[in-house]
Amino acid sequence: MQDKEELKRKKKIILEALAKTLKELRGEQSQFMFSSENDIGIDIVSKSERGIKDPQLTTLYRIAEAFELTFSELAHKIEQNLPDGFFIIEK
């Protein structure tokens, strides 16, 4: 079992990868326009892109749909922004 500090460290890495992925996918579109057009709260978009919000699974599905991706494709893009040798699920 991992200690709390290790779990917090891993969560931070995952949220940073999510933040980077969302910014890359959104490109030049403003957070306001993206959130408005896709019925996702601006607060959620903003905090997710700063790596301080852990969005709900249903929100991640809506984000994937907004970028015309499957959830699996979004997850793969997030994984590509994780550090080398980092695994979300340990075997």
- Res 69 pLDDT > 70: yes
| Prediction pTM value | 0.89
Task: Give the DSSP letter of residue 29.
Answer: S
- Res 75 pLDDT > 70: yes
Mean pLDDT of 80-85: 93
The model's confidence at residue 88, banded by pLDDT at 50, 70 and 90, is: confident
Phi, psi of 6 (to 5 degrees): -65, -40
Domain definitions of the chain by residue range: 4-80
Tell me the Ramachandran region of residue 35: left when phi exceeds 0, alpha when psi lies from -120 to 50, beta otherwise.
Answer: alpha
CA dist 83 → 13, 23, 35, 56, 80 (Å): 8, 17, 28, 23, 8
pLDDT given for residue 79 in this prediction: 93
Q: How many CA atoms lie within 13 A of 3 on its CB side?
A: 2
Mean pLDDT of 1-14: 88
Mean pLDDT of the chain: 93
Would you say domain 4-80 falls under CATH 1.10.10.60? Answer: no
Tokens of 5: 């500090």
Q: What's the rounded Cα separation, in Å, for the pair 11 and 14? A: 5
